[in-house]
Amino acid sequence: MTYQSEIAKADSLIGGQAGWDGIAPESVARMRLQNRFNTGLDIARHTAKIMRQDMAAYDADPAAYTQSLGCWHGFIGQQKMISIKKHFGSTKRRYLYLSGWMVAALRSEFGPLPDQSMHEKTSVPALIEELYTFLKQADARELGMLFRDLDAARAAGDEVKAQKISHDIDAYETHVVPIIADIDAGFGNAEATYLLARKFIEAGACCIQIENQVSDEKQCGHQDGKVTVPHEDFLAKIRAVRYAFLELGVDDGVIVARTDSLGAGLTKQIAYVREAGDIADQYNSFLDCDPVDPATVGHGDVLISRDGQLLRPKRLPSNLYQFRPGTGEDRCVLDCITALQNGADLLWIETEKPHIGQIGGMVRRIRDVIPDAKLVYNNSPSFNWTLNFRQQVYDAWAQEGRDLAAYDRARLMSIDYDETDLGREADERIRTFQKDAARDAGIFHHLITLPTYHTAALSTDNLARRYFGEEGMLGYVKQVQREEIRQGIACVKHQNMAGSDIGDDHKDYFAGEAALKAGGAHNTMNQFAA
Q: What is the 3-state secondary structure (H, E, C) of 81-136?
A: HHHHHHHHCCCCCEEEEECHHHHHHHHCCCCCCCCCCCCCCCHHHHHHHHHHHHHH
Q: Does residue 206 carry a catalytic annotation?
A: no
Question: Across the chain, how many H-helices and E-strands are there?
Answer: 20, 14
Q: How far apart are CA 400 and CA 489, in angstroms?
A: 47
Q: In what order do the strands lie in the sheet with 227-228?
A: 227-228, 266-267, 321-322
Catalytic residue, chosen from 206, 207, 220, 336, is 220
Answer for the pair 18, 25: CB distance below 8 angstroms, yes or no. Answer: no
Task: State the CB neighbour count (10 A cutoff) for residue 521.
Answer: 5
Give the number of residues written for the chain. Answer: 530
| Residue 264: closest CA among 334, 331, 363 | 331
Helix (H) or strand (E) holding 349: strand 346-349
**Residue 102 backbone class (left: φ over 0; alpha: ψ -120 to 50; beta: rest):** alpha
Q: How far apart are CA 203 and CA 201, in angstroms?
A: 5
Q: Is 175 helix (H, G, I), strand (E, B) or coil?
A: coil
* Residues involved in catalysis: 220
